Amino acid sequence: MNATAILLIDCPDRRGLVAAVADFLYRHNANILHADQHQDNEQGLFLMRVEWDLAGFDLSLEEFRRQFARIADQFQMRWRLELSALRPKVAIFVSQYDHCIVDLLYRQQSGELACDIPLIISNHNTAERIAEFYQIPFHLIPITKENKAESEAQQQELLRDKAVDLIVLARYMQILSPHFVDQYPQRIINVHHSFLPAFMGAKPYHRAFERGVKLIGATSHYVTSELDEGPIIEQDVMRVSHRDQLDDLIQKGRDLEKVVLSRAVRWHIDHRILVYNKKTVIFD
């Protein structure tokens, strides 16, 4: 695949936005490969993602940033430029349930997830053999109420050492401190084994079973300091019935967890997500 550039924009909605961006890229010989946009009428916002082939593009990235800043200022844009050739470094946190991490590692090895995974961090040793199989360094950091601050400091040191861009909580059953979360805004993705905002917190399958639900779900979201309140990236559901016991719900739910987490990670890596007002836009 050719190297591409990706421009993500959000700004007040007004006429001429698409034309201004397209004309700027055209004047510099950009071959646009994908373009998608969204208007939030209630908020009066315009959001856009455009990707183009860098072959033949006549601006350096530094010059692009300088020249495009004039258009951005004119339209009050918040914007960022990403490159497909830069593979993000992803750290995976996991506890005892290994279905999500196995799925992610397989997808990364098969090329579906265009990232590097320099380390796995866990508070249990369950996933150590999986890490050895994929030849990824595994770090066991037990956590108790008494040593939580020290454990998080150790984790952060490892993340800084590997220059990690994204943290994926693959059924990591620990609540990160606000201080930890603040170091990685919109760069921590969690999977919650429920269709949020229903059954937040611990043991959602048990609570769903007690309520006799007819649908179960799973949710991937960015982590914020408010538990299970971060911007939702992806959700999926599956029908269940009175014939399904608690173990059936858990088994079916794990299939959903794998799917919604891998989608969220892929969309983040592909720079398809914009966050605004506690919501996300997922571009095609």
- Catalytic residue ranges: 228
Residue 106 DSSP SS3: helix
Surface-to-core class of residue 237, CB atoms within 10 Å of its CB (0-12 exposed, 13-18 middle, 19+ buried): middle
Instruction: Count the residues in the chain.
Output: 284
Q: Across the chain, where does the E strand assignment appear?
A: 4-12, 31-40, 45-53, 78-83, 89-94, 116-122, 138-140, 166-169, 188-192, 215-222, 232-239, 273-276, 279-282
User: E-strand spans in 56-169?
Assistant: 78-83, 89-94, 116-122, 138-140, 166-169
Question: Distance between CA atoms of 214 and 191, rounded to whole angstroms?
Answer: 21
